[in-house]
Amino acid sequence: MASNLEDYVRQAKEGKKQALEKVVGHIQDRIYGLALRILGDAEDAEDETQEILIKVITHLSDYREESAFSSWVYRVACNHLLTIRKRKNEREGVTFDFLEDMIQADADKTYPLTVSGPERDLLAEEARLECMQAVLACLDKKTRMIYILGDIFGVTSNEGAYIFDITPETFRKRLSRSRMRIGEFMMKHCGLVNKNNFCRCHKQAGKKLASMPRIPAMRPVIKRDGVAKGRAEAVAHLNELSEIERTTAMFRRYPEYRSPESFTYIVKDLIRSGKYTMFME
């Protein structure tokens, strides 16, 4: 988040509309990325991100500048995501053992990906993201948040302690355990992390295509433009890293997870509603 974000926050607390729009612009992608990884569904993530943004905007006066604004936003977002009711699209009962059994069951099977060109790369990329989402779902929701914030978003142990109301040492221990568990699984099964593994994105995409011959409409978070180039660059980058570093690099690379354009209108809609007189044009 930009270094001048704190200045925009102070101006927004004074009721300046343009500053508030800047604040929302700075935070919406990260909130949406967090919600999408936690909930695993684009529509659910969009709904909850809007709720979180509204909470941040309408409770901006509660931010006392005792921490970085980004940490306060993450605290608001995590508290919201931890307390909402289970969504219909949230994965239930997914464990590392369950995923391992699924992978082993396909060890001797072949699933040729019968499409080519951009569609092939798009399906492979979707398979990669779905696999990583399934791996994240093996962690309980709070541990998942700690892993996402600590290993993917780069939150420090002190920031993590504030966000989750725990000690820095506890945050580090939980992050270390989750990192080790995910790393062990990916090293054992993912063909991108360890070339000796037989599980490949194209194989998983072929399996999905075999059960659903008609190519489904891609989720809005998956951008068609530039998928082939982006995937090729990502794989090339992974090859330059040690096996230990590849898991983290894979989870950090979510360029498709950009917040919907509809979020741009949240501030405008709040102002036009007439409920909040603090905002100035």
pLDDT of residue 169: 98
pLDDT, averaged across the chain: 82
Q: What confidence tens digit (pLDDT) does each residue in 39-57 have? A: 988 889 889 999 999 999 9
pLDDT of residue 218: 46
Q: Is 1-90+258-281 CATH 1.10.1740.10?
A: yes
Of residues 167 and 244, more confidence is placed in 167
Question: 54: exposed, middle or buried (C-beta count within 10 Å: 0-12, 13-18, 19+)?
Answer: middle
What is the per-residue DSSP string for 95-108? -HHHHHHHHHHTTT
Task: Enumerate the domain spans of the chain.
Answer: 1-90+258-281, 91-216+222-255
pTM of the predicted structure, to 2 decimals? 0.83
Asked whether residue 259 carries a pLDDT value surpassing 70, the answer given is no
For residue 207, what pLDDT band results from cuts at 50, 70 and 90? Answer: confident
Any idea what the Cα angle at residue 91 is, between residues 195 and 130, rounded to 5°? 35
pLDDT of residue 143: 96
Asked whether residue 260 carries a pLDDT value surpassing 90, the answer given is no
Tokens of 102: 């699924």
pLDDT of residue 255: 45
What is the per-residue DSSP string for 31-77? HHHHHHHHH--HHHHHHHHHHHHHHHHHTGGG--SSS-HHHHHHHHH
